[in-house]
């Protein structure tokens, strides 16, 4: 069973019963409790169920972000490397703006429990911090794009008029020598305003975004300060980024090299 299929089955069982104990869930699906605990945590973070001691209860939430969920598991290991590197650069007490996206969601998970001021237009990210006492949370309003749970548009842009942050951490749909791209015209309008709010503009993107172009042009490469990618970046792409004057951080490079070496020994 694929991860997505298993997670959907977990949610269906919790929904059908209203509450289910973890050991009952493990017996029903024949997976380890540790695996199913991660699945319950996943749905808890999206607000569709509530984790309890020894199980989970259904909260009645509605699944409104299918596109985000479908993309969450793609290149997850690389996104987690990137997220850890991005979180390492953030100091306690900083004001951070987090754009919506699967990689920025991984960054947000790394920041749970830290003392920060967080501004976001992402409902999944806002949900992570909604009951977190250490975080001062500001949620930007606007048009809700239902496929991703991201708030966009003129109202969202106007809400940023008086906001200033140390870092704006953005996700993108594509990066080429021409610049950065995303999939939605309203989204790039919102992201341009986010960039003007920040001392440092940080883009987090796994290597599959490099060399790819999307519908809407966001900005030229030199308009951002830092790009954090995984070790899948090619030498030619490294040169392209560095020649644009952008600080390049390659996350997980040593880990990837170690795994390659291990595979070589096994071969």
Burial of 161 (0-12, 13-18, 19+ CB in 10 A): exposed
Spatial neighbors of 230 by CB under 8 A, at least 6 apart, are: 75, 78, 79, 81, 82, 206, 207, 250, 251, 252, 256
Q: Residues 1, 34, 80, 68: is their CA dihedral positive or negative?
A: positive
Region(s) of the chain under CATH 3.40.50.1360 = 70-257
- Which pLDDT belongs to residue 60? 60
* Structure confidence by residue, pLDDT tens digits, 112-150: 999 999 999 999 999 999 888 899 999 999 888 766 789
Whole-structure pTM value: 0.70
Q: Which CATH class is domain 3-63?
A: mainly alpha
Fold of the domain spanning 70-257: Rossmann fold (3.40.50)
pLDDT, residue 69, reads 52
Could you report the average pLDDT of every consecutive run of 10 residues in the chain (267 residues)? 82 83 90 90 78 78 48 75 97 97 94 96 92 92 82 92 97 95 89 97 96 92 98 96 97 59 43
| CB contact at 8 A, 181 and 172 | yes
CATH 1.10.10.10 domain span(s) along the chain? 3-63
């Amino acid at each position: 069973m694929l991860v997505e299929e298993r997670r959907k089955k977990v949610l269906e069982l919790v929904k059908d019963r209203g509450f289910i104990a973890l050991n009952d869930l493990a017996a029903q699906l024949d997976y380890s409790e540790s695996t199913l605990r991660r699945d319950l945590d996943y749905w808890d973070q999206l607000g569709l169920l509530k984790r309890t001691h020894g199980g989970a209860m259904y909260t009645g939430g509605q699944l409104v972000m299918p596109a985000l969920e479908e993309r969450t598991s793609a290149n997850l290991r690389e996104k987690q490397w990137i997220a850890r590197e991005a979180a390492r650069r953030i100091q306690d007490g900083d004001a951070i703006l987090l754009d919506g996206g699967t990689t920025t969601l991984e960054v947000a998970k790394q920041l749970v429990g830290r003392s920060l001021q967080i501004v976001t237009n992402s409902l999944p990210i806002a949900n992570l911090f909604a009951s977190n006492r250490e975080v001062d949370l500001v949620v930007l309003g606007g048009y809700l794009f239902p496929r991703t749970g991201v708030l966009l548009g003129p109202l969202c842009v106007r809400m940023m008029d008086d906001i200033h942050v140390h870092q704006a951490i953005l996700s993108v749909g594509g990066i080429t020598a021409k610049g950065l791209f995303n999939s939605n015209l309203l989204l790039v309008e919102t992201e341009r305003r986010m960039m003007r709010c920040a001392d440092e503009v940080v883009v987090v993107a796994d290597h599959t975004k490099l060399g790819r172009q999307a519908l809407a042009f966001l900005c030229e490469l030199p308009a951002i300060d830092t790009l954090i990618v995984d070790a899948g970046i090619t030498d030619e792409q490294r040169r392209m980024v560095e020649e644009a004057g952008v600080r390049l951080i390659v996350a997980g490079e040593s880990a990837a090299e170690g795994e390659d070496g291990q595979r070589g020994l096994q071969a």
